[in-house]
Structures are given as structure tokens and as C-alpha cells.
């Protein structure tokens, strides 16, 4: 739990301390396993950015979009064109499964690359895709007790490692 608190504090700190240009972005990202809202800050005079996101996931035992995740994606634009760019970032965060069988708060790390296409003359809107790899797993224990029997077992909660998401962004 101590690790979690420190991690959360650091995630927030890194975003708050970033100095922003005008073109920040709010985006909605969709994949088979997660639906996320993200806020991205672009750092002044550099291609570097950092975004924080929060979302819902469906990766635990009940397969419902009722898990919560949040994280940060520090990264940079590798190649910029007039109406598009190619970017890459690290991805780190925490996944909270939500079910009645186990408690397995799971930190994760990953790496993503993506392509963003701006829409319109003022580049206020954009569509982008991201793909990447993520690693996060956590062991958990289950216990059952009755008058005649005590049962305990362990198992592993593992995040699906491949990410592929589609997103819409509003730039301001």
C-alpha cells in the first residue's frame, strides 16, 4: 500500500510540474479492454509530452467494464508532419480489479507507439491509434471455510499484454 501511495504521488507530481504550451489535449481512448479519458500536456519548445489518464477496464474475472485504472504516459513525438505525427511513450499505472472473489491491485508498465492524424485547418480535433505492450500481474489468495472444510488457493491476475486502441482528441 505504501508503494501505491508513493507511486500515485509521483504520477501526479510529474504532470503538475510540467510547463505547458497552448496545445494540450483531452482525449477519449477505446480498446477491447479499456475505455480511458486522458489529459495531455505538451512541454514547451520540445516534442516531449506527458499525459495522465483514468478509465474503466474489463480484465478481471467478471469481464465487466467495472474495473478502474489510471496512469501516466510520458513520451515524445518522433516525427511531425503538417497534419499528423508519430509518437511513442512509456505507460505506467495501476489497475484495480473490481469483483467479489479477489483483491489484486496491480501496477503495470508498458511501452506504446502511435499515429495521430489532425482534422481541420486549426488542428483542434484529431484521431489517433496506439499499439504497444503492457506488463502487469499480481498473485492473490482465496479462502473458504465451512463446518467441515477449509480451502485456500492462489492464482494470478494478469493484464492482457497487447494494447491496441483508437482515440479521439480535442486539442486546445
Partner 1 sequence: MKANILLIIIFLLTACSCEKEILSYSKGDIKIEIETGEQWLHDFHLFLGISKKNSPQFAVWIEDTAGNYISTVFVTEKTATEGWIANKGNRRKEALPYWCHQRGVVYDDGLLLPTKENPLPDGITGASPKADKELQISITDFTEPMVIKAEFNHSVDFNDFFPENAQEGDDNYSGGEMGSGQPAIVYAVTIYPNQQQAYLKLIGHSSIDGSDGMVYPDLEKLTTSKSIIKQISTVIIK
Taking CB under 8 A as the rule, does residue 45 contact partner 1? no
Provide φ and ψ at 105, rounded to 5°.
-60, 125
Q: Minimum distance between the CB of residue 37 and partner 1, rounded to whole angstroms?
A: 20
Cell of 106: 496491480
Q: Could you tell me which stretch among 21-29, 118-126, 152-160, 163-171 binds partner 1 (CB under 8 A)?
A: 152-160
> Using CA atoms, how far apart are residues 70 and 171, in angstroms rounded to an integer?
21
Contact positions with partner 1 (CB under 8 A) in 2-31: 3-4, 6-7, 10-11, 13-14, 17-18
Taking CB under 8 A as the rule, does residue 114 contact partner 1? no
Taking CB under 8 A as the rule, does residue 39 contact partner 1? no
Taking CB under 8 A as the rule, does residue 154 contact partner 1? yes
- Going from the C-alpha of 106 to that of each of 13, 15, 23, 51, 158, the distances in angstroms are 21, 21, 32, 20, 8
Q: Could you tell me which stretch among 20-28, 118-126, 129-137, 164-172 binds partner 1 (CB under 8 A)?
A: 129-137
User: How is 86-120 classified by DSSP, letter by letter?
Assistant: EEEEEEEEEEE---SS----EEEEEEEEEEEEEES
Query: In terms of Cα–Cα distance, which of 147, 154, 28, 160 is closest to 106?
Result: 160
For the CA atoms of the chain, what is the radius of gyration?
19
Q: Could you tell me which stretch among 23-31, 79-87, 139-147, 163-171 binds partner 1 (CB under 8 A)?
A: 139-147
Which is nearer to partner 1, 6 or 170 (by Cβ)?
6
Strand 25-30 versus strand 67-80 pairing type: unpaired
Q: Minimum distance between the CB of residue 156 and partner 1, rounded to whole angstroms?
A: 7
> Using CA atoms, how far apart are residues 17 and 83, in angstroms rounded to an integer?
29
Which residue ranges make up the site for partner 1 (CB under 8 A)?
A: 3-4, 6-7, 10-11, 13-14, 17-18, 43, 48, 50, 61-63, 72, 74, 90, 92, 100-102, 107-109, 135-156, 158
Amino acid at each position: 500500500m505504501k508503494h501505491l501511495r508513493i507511486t500515485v504521488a509521483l504520477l501526479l507530481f510529474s504532470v503538475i510540474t510540467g510547463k505547458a504550451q497552448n496545445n494540450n489535449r483531452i482525449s477519449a481512448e477505446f480498446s477491447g479492454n479499456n475505455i480511458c479519458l486522458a489529459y495531455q500536456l505538451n512541454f514547451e519548445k520540445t516534442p516531449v509530452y506527458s499525459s495522465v489518464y483514468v478509465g474503466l477496464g474489463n480484465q478481471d474475472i467478471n469481464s465487466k467494464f467495472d474495473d478502474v485504472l489510471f496512469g501516466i504516459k510520458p513520451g515524445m513525438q518522433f516525427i511531425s508532419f503538417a497534419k499528423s505525427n508519430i509518437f511513442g511513450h512509456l505507460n505506467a499505472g495501476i489497475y484495480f480489479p473490481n469483483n467479489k472473489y479477489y483483491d489484486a491491485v496491480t501496477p503495470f508498465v508498458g511501452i506504446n507507439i502511435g499515429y495521430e492524424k489532425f482534422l481541420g485547418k486549426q488542428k483542434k480535433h484529431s484521431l489517433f491509434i496506439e499499439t504497444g505492450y503492457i506488463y502487469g500481474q499480481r498473485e492473490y489468495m482465496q479462502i473458504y471455510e465451512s463446518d467441515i472444510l477449509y480451502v485456500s488457493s492462489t492464482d494470478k491476475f494478469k493484464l492482457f499484454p497487447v494494447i491496441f486502441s483508437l482515440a479521439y482528441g480535442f486539442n486546445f
